[in-house]
Chain A
Amino acid sequence: MTPLGLIVNPVAGLGGTVGLKGSDGAQVQRLARERGAVPRAGTRAALAVAELAARCPDAEILTVAGDMGADAAGPRGRVVCERPETTGPADTRRAVDALVAAGAGLIMFAGGDGTARDVLDALGGRVPAIGIPAGVKMHSAVHAVNPRAAGEVAAAFLAGTAHVAPAEVADREGDAIVLYGLMPVPRLGERVQRGKVGSARTGGDDLAGIAAELAAHAVPGGLDVYGPGTTTHGVLRVLGVDTPPTGVTAVSGGRCLVADADAAALEGLAAGRPGVRVIVSPIGGQGFLFGRGNQQITPALLRGATVTVVCGEAKLAALGGRPLLVDTGDDALDASLTGYLPIVTGRGRRVMYKLGEP
């Protein structure tokens, strides 16, 4: 059986309990400790390991020494990497490299968005990963719903019963939430991820249906601007357009005009078109449509366009009734994007969903 690599960011979540908005950086971590914060990533990782052990007694766990994994892994952990003196992003990346080099076929990491970014950087898609939710910021869709669920997903992956699909890694940069990249994550029905990002087969998301619906309502000669994300990217792939999922893609007549377009390019392409559709999907688990991760779509572009929101039903259900949010930077435009919007969930299928007022 393929071994699992466990890595714990020992300072993940440190800021959360004492009212800080994250735990990134030595200064914030010191401040958090001064305010009495207690590390909790290790405890949560131990829960995930317990669940993994219960479901998959033969699982072999490769890990990092001390509080970066071995403490949480307990006796079944095999240390293949010494604990670095510091636990910064570079240390996380080096440790992940060591786990993969030792043969880990799946990385289970305890941390938040920052840790997810570091793991993504180190892995570059070589092996899949699953997050144990332990951070302050969790805009990404790579974490299981709770620590035990992370252990369950890992066990299913090792047993060969989970399939792997890309999921969004997002992080806050200043006031903005940026889509950082896609990480391959094992999936297990609706149980895990609660459909933050659904899957075509089990999450109820109907990418082909959404693609057909968009095609049926396309304006000849019109411009379609696809925002970033797994749903829009999945729809584009169904339409035969494969572009970076983190960028904005401009399409016309089924042909990609620009991949990873910036604001100026989009506004230039839109000028004089018979119709412009901006097609977006809520990003991550937060439900932002505009102003987070897709600032290339400017108020100027939006004012001359129709907005089409696409989203699988499972992903929509996972928002738990919270409204979709917009923050375009233009108050008048934001005000026009309130109320209810028919969200395209499949061919000939819409859900009336609330927009704008958090």
Chain B
Amino acid sequence: MSAHAPSGPVDPADAKVAPKPALRRYHAARWDESLIFEQSTPGQRGVLPPALDAGIAESVGDATASLPPALRRQKPPALPELGQQAVLRHYLRLSQENLGADLNIDVGQGTCTMKYSPKVNDQLIRSHKLARLHPGQHDDTTQGVLEILWRMEKMLAEISGMDRVTLQPGAGSAAIWTNVAMIRAYHASRGESHRDQVITTIFSHPSNAACAKTAGYEVITLYPDADGYPDLEALKAAVSDRTAALLITNPEDTGIFNPRIKEFVDVVHSVGGLACYDQANANGILGITRARDAGFDLCHFNLHKTFSTPHACGGPAAGACGVTGALAPFLPSPTVEFDGERYFLDHDRPESIGKVRPYTGVAPNIVRAYSWIMSLGAEGLREVAEIAVLNNNYLLTEMLKIPGVSAPYAKGKRRIEQVRYSWEELAGETGVHSEDIGLRAADYGVHYWTSHHPYLVPEPATLEPTESYSKADLDEYVAIMRAVAEEARTDPETVRTAPHRSSVHRNREAALDDPNVWAVTWRAYRRKVLDAS
């Protein structure tokens, strides 16, 4: 109906329809589904393979005899025994109890960077041209995918300003690990293995500290100064001839861009250390600034955070590391090369750190990211950054209108792509904590996350809208936050005991913290929980 249509008499049938509520009346599916192991009935089977033809059986003989005795099972694996329909039903039920990125307005998981993954790219990777490829095939039969890998490297080199890029890491953290391994190899090649310290900041992603620690480095963490920037004076006090590298994010988890980043790089270079830019999430800087322009030696992207591939929850995802020419000899092997006529894999790399993952990377995700970049072009990438920053500052402006929430540090300044908020005022007033708000938000069908530990910002919440969400989406998210904050004042009990309309009420979080109780396998669950009770 046009806005100018004359208003006629109301149809009585229409009059009965209640107006849409301001907030949706969401309720998740709740199946009370038991573990698949608990549903096992001895003897049940999903698939009954036909018996072998007598001739085949005769010519093959005992197939297991070809396996070395040490590799043969002594008894069959204790797998659950179920019919096909029961298995299908089980996993469909579990899938309904998910609140996935395609189902909710996923702006509440700042630092995780949940952006939309266009489905057209899934069609590409399902094509037989990719799906039927095996990475072990000869180069001559994989020229197409090698060309994509080669072109993708060139594009990421352009985006970051770096000389070479590897696509081998299987996730963002794996990319950080790869960078740390290259840093270690670089110093070793120069006879400087005494460099045993890596510096990072408390608002950089904790994978930086974790990867450096895993590689054997001592980790020195910098805290923010009063304005929320990483403390440059602390860096000057921390560097020495023991410094191997600085691993730093910019903007950090607060969304505050550090305009003095070049000085940080220079301080580290002045003592012979390397500077490594964690730009896993480059949503706010695409086409605006580059790692190389600030003097960095290495950087990495997480393809899901910036280039729209699925999150993949630890793998197989995809990460990419960019390096300057000085570090290129240490890149994982093999590299993808082009001799002007054909693409090929170069395994002859004596200084390489070796493999960080089999073959050349997670091809489906690289193809998705390649397609995403190609569909946007250079101007499109910059527009992604502009919209991500615009969305974030709109969200910030609207969030700060809710009584009880604040955005610590850099008062009055714009943020880049995310903001770490604080509900400290609301918590003091109502006794409702940020975690409670997150659980109540689940009752309205959205995700919400607090912060990494330790909580430098009290009662934290980290929101990051990316470029994927519309103004209407952001308005709905803010309306949910406003509604929950109001409930905290008028009906704190409801918020505190949330969620009420989600699939699961509460997890026993203490158990997740206690190695004597946590159970990540059925066997551990039986031993620690069932047998103990």
Contacts and interface: CB of A to CB of B under 8 A. Distances in A.
Interface of A: 51, 54-55, 145-146, 148-149, 151-152, 161, 190-191, 194-195, 201-202, 204, 313-314, 316-317, 321, 339-340, 342, 345, 348-354
7 contacts: A54-B496, A148-B428, A190-B453, A317-B456, A340-B234, A349-B213, A350-B221
Interface residues of B, number: 36
A342 B238 contact: yes
Interface string B209-220: 100010001111
Given A342-B238, A348-B217, A352-B231, A194 B223 contact: no
Given A149-B431, A342-B220, A348 B458 contact: no
Contacts of B217: 348
B381 to A, nearest CB: 36
A352 B218 contact: no
A32 B391 CA distance: 53
B237 A339 contact: yes
A195 B513 CA distance: 17
Interface in B417-461: 427-428, 430-431, 433, 435, 453-456, 458
Contacts of A314: 453-455
Given A148-B430, A204-B454, A349-B219, 15 more contacts: A54-B493, A148-B428, A190-B455, A314-B453, A321-B224, A321-B226, A348-B217, A349-B209, A349-B213, A349-B221, A351-B220, A352-B221, A352-B223, A352-B235, A354-B231
B218 A348 contact: yes
B454 A195 contact: yes
A52 to B, nearest CB: 10
A314 B510 CA distance: 17
A336 to B, nearest CB: 14
Contacts of A350: 218-221
A13 B427 CA distance: 22
A351 B217 CA distance: 14
B431 A151 contact: yes
B454 A317 contact: yes
B233 interface: yes
A352 B453 contact: no
Contacts of B209: 349
A151 B492 CA distance: 14
B514 interface: yes
B173 to A, nearest CB: 18
A80 to B, nearest CB: 27
Contacts of B428: 145-146, 148
B222 interface: yes
A317 B492 CA distance: 28
Contact of A190 (B225, B233, B454, B493): B454
A246 B317 CA distance: 52
A354 B453 CA distance: 20
Contacts of B225: 321
B525 to A, nearest CB: 21
A161 B454 contact: no
B404 to A, nearest CB: 13
Q: Which of B237, B238, B431 has the most CB of A within 10 A?
A: B431
A348 B213 contact: yes
Given A195-B454, A352-B223, A152 B218 contact: no
A198 to B, nearest CB: 8
A195 B456 CA distance: 11
Given A202-B513, A340-B238, A354-B234, A348 B219 contact: yes
Contacts of A191: 433, 435
Q: Is the interface of A mostly helix, strand, loop or mixed?
A: mixed
B514 A201 contact: yes
Contact of B431 (A152, A313, A352, A353): A152
B528 to A, nearest CB: 17
Nearest to A57: B493
A342 B234 CA distance: 9
A336 B237 CA distance: 14
Interface in B181-218: 202, 209, 213, 217-218
B223 A321 contact: yes
For the complex of A and B, 10 pairs with smallest distance between CB atoms: A148-B431, A340-B237, A317-B454, A352-B234, A348-B218, A313-B454, A314-B454, A350-B220, A351-B221, A352-B238
A37 B492 CA distance: 32
Q: Which of A195, A201, A204, A351 has the most CB of B within 10 A?
A: A351
B461 to A, nearest CB: 14
Nearest to B225: A321
A41 B213 CA distance: 48
Contact of B237 (A161, A321, A352): A352
A137 B493 CA distance: 32
Contacts of B235: 352
Contact of A194 (B226, B458, B510): B458
Nearest to A48: B431
Contacts of B427: 146
B454 A316 contact: yes
Contacts of B220: 342, 350-352
Nearest to A340: B237
Nearest to B514: A201
Nearest to B456: A317
A191 B510 CA distance: 14
Contacts of A194: 455, 458
A224 to B, nearest CB: 20
A96 B237 CA distance: 50
A314 B223 CA distance: 13
Q: Which of B225, B433, B514 has the most CB of A within 10 A?
A: B433
Given A313-B454, A340-B237, A340-B238, A351 B431 contact: no
Contacts of B454: 190, 195, 204, 313-314, 316-317
B453 A204 contact: yes
Nearest to A205: B454
A6 B232 CA distance: 48
Contacts of A351: 202, 220-223
Contacts of A316: 223, 454
Contacts of A195: 454-455
Contacts of B219: 348-350
